């Protein structure tokens, strides 16, 4: 049996010329792990962290590795396989280049990718649509006709269809209304557990993160300033950023207790 995929960041510093956005990030995710959440205020470095994990941004110090391979220097021959094992999905993941492409074709192609990679699973197109809260008749819809929220749901279904070992979600449901996000997460959680997919959810939506993540890291000033169960952190942590997050969402904090 193949070893599980491991995504690891070690003492990662990264940013842009003249600006270090990340300052010493350590994170390790292994296929099969319980879901992890990453939250933080605007400008804390969440997007920079995702780009570094994806190998799109080279750290100025430290390393990001996938199965021991440097993420930003993956050999061409291994890139496709590794990118399938560790999949990144954002609010803009579903780009429609062919106006004739249907939802069924999109998801079926993803299921085919999983099968070719030896990660086949018995989930059908309609099963996946149900998981993301779309009726069965959406299977025949053309992607170009979907709303922003519907596209984000299909992008999520597509990502799960490939059965990645690690799924990194970067603000994946911004165009979906809050209550529907919660329902989607409730449906999604059992499936990713069954598939053995480790989920990293990066979001400003505290309710969404609390619903899906067993452990949360709070990002502020380029580093993790607190880690643990979100409800506990927001109720008692003394870091200024954690207090600000709690004060900005008092109703959510009350529900977490």
- Encode pLDDT of 152-168 as tens digits: 999 999 999 989 999 99
Whether 46 is in a domain gets the answer yes
Whether 198 is in a domain gets the answer yes
For residue 108, the model assigns a pLDDT of 94
Residue 172: give its domain's CATH number: 3.40.50.300
In the predicted model, is pLDDT for residue 3 greater than 90? Answer: no
How many folded domains does the chain comprise? Answer: 1
Whether 56 is in a domain gets the answer yes
Per the structure, the complete domain to which residue 121 belongs is given by 6-256
Question: 181: burial class by Cβ within 10 Å (0-12, 13-18, 19+)?
Answer: buried
pTM for the structure as a whole: 0.92
For residue 257, the model assigns a pLDDT of 67
- Encode pLDDT of 183-229 as tens digits: 998 899 999 999 999 999 999 889 889 988 989 999 998 999 999 99
Whether 1 is in a domain gets the answer no
181-to-29, 122, 172 alpha-carbon distances in Å: 24, 25, 10
Whether 41 is in a domain gets the answer yes
For residue 1, the model assigns a pLDDT of 47
Whether 50 is in a domain gets the answer yes
Choose between 240 and 3: higher pLDDT.
240
Most confident of 71-75, 76-80, 196-200: 196-200
Whether 239 is in a domain gets the answer yes
Whether 236 is in a domain gets the answer yes
End-to-end CA distance of the chain: 41
For residue 80, the model assigns a pLDDT of 76
Q: What is the mean pLDDT of the chain?
A: 90
- Categorize the per-residue pLDDT at 45 as very low, low, confident or very high, splitting at 50, 70 and 90: very high
Q: Measuring CA to CA, which residue among 15, 92, 28 is closest to residue 58? A: 15
């Amino acid at each position: 049996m193949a070893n599980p995929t491991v995504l690891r960041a070690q003492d990662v510093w990264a940013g842009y010329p003249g600006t270090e956005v990340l300052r010493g990030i350590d994170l390790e995710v292994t296929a099969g792990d319980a879901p992890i959440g990453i939250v933080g205020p605007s400008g804390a470095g969440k997007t920079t962290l995702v780009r570094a994990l994806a190998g799109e941004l080279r750290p100025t110090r430290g390393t990001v590795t996938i199965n021991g391979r440097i993420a930003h220097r993956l050999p061409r021959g291994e890139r496709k396989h590794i990118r399938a094992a560790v999949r990144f999905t954002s609010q803009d993941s579903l780009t429609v280049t062919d106006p004739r492409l249907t939802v069924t074709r999109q998801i079926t192609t993803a299921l085919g990718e999983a099968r070719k990679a030896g990660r086949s699973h018995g989930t059908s197109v309609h099963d996946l649509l149900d998981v993301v809260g779309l009726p069965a008749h959406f299977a025949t819809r053309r992607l170009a006709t979907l709303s922003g929220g519907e596209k984000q749901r299909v992008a999520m279904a597509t990502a799960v269809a490939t059965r990645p070992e690690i799924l990194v979600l970067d603000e994946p449901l911004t165009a979906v209304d809050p209550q529907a996000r919660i329902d989607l997460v409730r449906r999604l959680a059992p499936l990713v557990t069954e598939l053995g997919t480790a989920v990293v959810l990066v979001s400003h939506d505290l309710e969404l993160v609390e619903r899906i993540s067993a452990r949360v890291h709070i990002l502020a000033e380029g580093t993790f300033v607190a880690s643990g169960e979100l409800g506990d952190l927001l109720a008692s942590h003394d870091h200024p950023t954690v207090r600000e997050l709690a004060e900005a969402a008092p109703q959510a904090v009350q529900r977490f207790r």
